[in-house]
C-alpha cells in the first residue's frame, strides 16, 4: 500500500527544511470556508481518474480503489464524520490526504496530470454553475409572485411618482411589472454568465498544461461543461467568471433594494398602500405600536455588501501577473457571500411579495392628490389643436389657480376651466378622472389595465421558457 503521510506533514513539504509555523498555517488555510466545494472536488476527481484510466495512465485497479475511496469520503462528509484538518490547508488536500489514508498508493496517483491550480478553478466553476441554477429558480419565484399580484391589481389605480412627487396615475399591476422586467434582465444576464462559467479548466495543470496524453474533452463531457478553456495560463488564473457573477448579483440586489425602498415607503402610515405579513416584520423594544419592515430594510443594506463583494474581486485581480497567484485564494469568500446573500434575499422576497395586502382605497386617495391628471388635460388641449407648449402653460396656470382655491382640477366648473383655454369643452371631465387617465395609455408598455393584462400573459409565457 506504500507509505502514508505523517500526521501534520503537508503533501508538498519535501522541498522544505522546516515546517510551516502555526501562525502561517492559520493565516494561509482556506479549509474553514472552501469545504463547501467538497462534493464538487470529489466529482471532478472521479472524472479525472476515469479519464486517466481511459488514456492508459491509471490502472483499473487504481481507478476502482480511487472511486471506492472517494465514495467513502463523500459519505463521511455527508454524515459529519469527516475530520477536517488545518494542517491539510484546504478542501482539496484534506480530501486527498484522507483518500491516501483509505486506499494508499492509488490515492497518491490521483493527482497525476493535474495541479491544485486547475483543480480549484474547476471545482469553483462547478459550484457556481449549480448556484446560478438555484438562484435562477428563486428569481422565477419572485417574478411569479409579482405577476400574481399584478393580475389582482391590473386596474388598481395608484400615483406614479417622479422625484418622489405625484406625477401621473398608473396601475399597481403596471408598477409591479416594472420589477418583473428588471428581474428578467437579471435572469438573462445570469444565463449569459453561466455560459462563460461552464468551461473546463482541468488539464491546464499548474499553468503550462501537462506532458501526459490526457483527454480534456472527455472530462468536459462527464462534468457537463460546454467546452474547455483554450489557454492553460488563462484557465488557471482567470476569475472573470466570478467577477461577472458578482456584477450580475450586485445589479440584481440593486433592483431588490429599489423594491425594498418602495415597500418601506408604502408600509409607512404616511402612504399606507400595503401591509406586510407579520412574519416579515419586527417590533420595537420600547415602542409597542411599531411594526418595522426589517426584511426590506436589511435587503436594502445587504445590497451594499454584495456591491462590496464585486469591488473586492475586481481589486483582487487588478495587479496580478500571469498565471496563478496565492491572492486568488481570496476569491472564494466574496463569491460565496454574493451567492448566499442574493439567494437568501430572493427566497424571502418570493414569500413576502406573495403575502402583500394592498389597500386600494389608500392608493386611490393618494392618486387624487397632487393634480395627477394635469398632463391628461394638456394632452386634451393638444388634441383640440393647441400647441403642446401653449397647452402646458395653460394647464400650469389652471393648477396654480386650483391649488390656491383648495380644489382639484376636476372640481373646477367648466366656466373656470375655460378661463385658461377656450378650447376646453364639456367633455373635459372624462380625461380628468383617474380611470380615464390610465385607460388612455393603451399602447404597448402603457399602464392601461388592458395592456397590463396583456403584459401579464406575456410574462407568464416568458417564465415557462428557459433562457
440 is a catalytic site residue: no
Q: Which residues pair with 358 in a beta bridge?
A: 274
Are 204 and 235 in contact by the 8 Å Cβ rule? The answer is yes
Query: Whose CA is closest to 168, among 458, 395, 423?
Result: 395
DSSP for 388-428, please give it.
Answer: HHHHHHHHHHHHHHHHHTT--GGGS-HHHHHTT-TT--TTH
The residue with cell 456584477 is 247
Residues paired with residue 160 on neighbouring β-strands, in sequence order: 168
139: enclosing H helix or E strand: helix 116-152
The rounded distance, in Å, linking the Cα atoms of 346 and 219 is: 33
Rounded CA-CA distance 20/88 in Å is 12
Q: In terms of C-beta density within 10 A (0-12 exposed, 13-18 middle, 19 or more buried), how is residue 384 classed?
A: middle
From residue 300, give the alpha-carbon distance in Å to each of 47, 149, 269: 42, 22, 20
Give SS3 for 357. strand
**Selected catalytic residue, list 71, 284, 361, 442:** 284
Active site residue 163: yes
Which has the closest alpha carbon to 203: 118, 123, 127, 125?
A: 118
C-alpha cell at 336: 460565496
What angle separates helix 38-54 from helix 60-78, to the nearest 10 degrees? 170
Q: Provide DSSP, 3-70.
A: PPPPTT--TTGGG-SSPPPHHHHHHH--HHHHGGGHHHHHHHHHHHHHHHHHTTSS-HHHHHHHHHHH
Residues carrying an active site annotation: 163, 284
Amino acid at each position: 500500500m506504500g507509505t502514508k503521510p505523517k500526521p501534520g506533514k503537508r503533501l508538498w513539504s519535501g522541498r522544505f527544511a522546516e515546517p510551516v509555523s502555526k501562525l502561517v498555517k492559520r493565516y494561509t488555510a482556506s479549509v474553514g470556508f472552501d469545504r463547501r466545494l467538497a462534493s464538487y472536488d470529489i466529482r471532478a476527481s472521479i472524472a479525472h481518474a476515469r479519464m486517466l484510466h481511459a488514456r492508459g495512465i491509471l490502472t483499473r485497479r487504481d481507478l476502482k480503489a480511487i472511486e471506492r475511496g472517494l465514495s467513502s469520503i463523500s459519505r463521511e462528509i455527508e454524515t459529519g464524520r469527516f475530520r477536517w484538518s488545518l494542517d491539510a490547508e484546504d478542501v482539496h488536500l484534506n480530501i486527498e490526504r484522507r483518500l491516501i489514508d483509505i486506499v494508499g498508493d492509488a490515492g497518491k496517483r490521483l493527482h497525476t496530470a493535474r495541479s491544485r491550480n486547475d483543480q480549484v478553478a474547476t471545482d469553483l466553476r462547478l459550484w457556481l454553475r449549480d448556484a446560478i441554477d438555484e438562484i435562477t429558480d428563486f428569481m422565477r419565484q419572485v417574478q411569479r409572485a409579482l405577476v400574481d399580484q399584478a393580475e389582482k391589481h391590473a386596474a388598481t389605480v395608484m400615483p406614479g411618482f417622479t422625484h418622489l412627487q405625484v406625477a401621473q396615475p398608473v396601475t399597481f399591476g403596471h408598477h409591479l411589472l416594472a420589477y418583473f422586467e428588471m428581474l428578467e434582465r437579471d435572469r438573462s444576464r445570469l444565463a449569459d454568465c453561466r455560459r462563460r462559467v461552464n468551461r473546463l479548466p482541468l488539464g491546464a495543470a499548474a499553468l503550462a498544461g501537462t506532458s501526459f496524453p490526457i483527454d480534456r474533452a472527455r472530462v468536459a463531457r462527464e462534468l457537463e461543461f460546454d467546452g474547455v478553456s483554450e489557454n492553460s495560463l488563462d484557465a488557471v488564473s482567470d476569475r472573470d467568471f466570478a467577477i461577472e457573477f458578482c456584477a450580475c448579483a450586485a445589479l440584481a440586489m440593486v433592483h431588490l433594494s429599489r423594491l425594498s425602498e418602495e415597500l418601506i415607503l408604502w408600509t409607512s402610515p404616511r402612504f399606507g398602500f400595503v401591509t406586510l405579513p407579520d412574519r416579515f416584520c419586527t417590533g420595537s423594544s420600547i415602542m409597542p405600536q411599531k411594526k418595522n419592515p426589517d426584511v426590506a430594510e436589511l435587503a436594502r443594506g445587504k445590497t451594499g455588501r454584495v456591491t462590496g463583494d464585486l469591488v473586492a474581486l475586481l481589486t483582487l485581480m487588478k495587479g496580478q501577473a500571469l498565471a496563478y497567484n496565492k491572492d486568488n485564494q481570496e476569491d472564494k469568500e466574496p463569491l460565496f457571500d454574493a451567492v448566499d446573500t442574493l439567494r437568501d434575499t430572493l427566497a424571502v422576497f418570493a414569500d413576502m411579495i406573495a403575502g402583500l395586502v394592498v389597500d386600494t382605497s389608500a392608493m386611490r386617495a393618494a392618486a387624487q392628490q397632487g393634480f395627477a391628471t394635469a398632463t391628461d388635460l394638456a394632452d386634451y388641449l393638444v388634441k383640440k389643436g393647441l400647441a403642446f407648449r401653449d397647452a402646458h402653460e395653460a394647464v400650469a396656470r389652471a393648477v396654480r389657480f386650483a391649488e390656491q382655491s383648495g380644489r382639484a382640477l376636476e372640481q373646477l366648473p367648466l366656466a373656470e376651466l375655460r378661463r385658461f383655454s377656450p378650447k376646453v369643452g364639456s367633455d373635459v371631465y372624462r380625461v380628468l378622472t383617474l380611470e380615464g387617465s390610465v385607460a388612455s395609455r393603451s399602447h404597448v408598455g402603457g399602464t392601461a389595465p388592458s395592456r397590463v393584462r396583456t403584459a401579464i400573459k406575456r410574462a407568464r409565457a416568458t417564465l415557462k421558457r428557459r433562457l
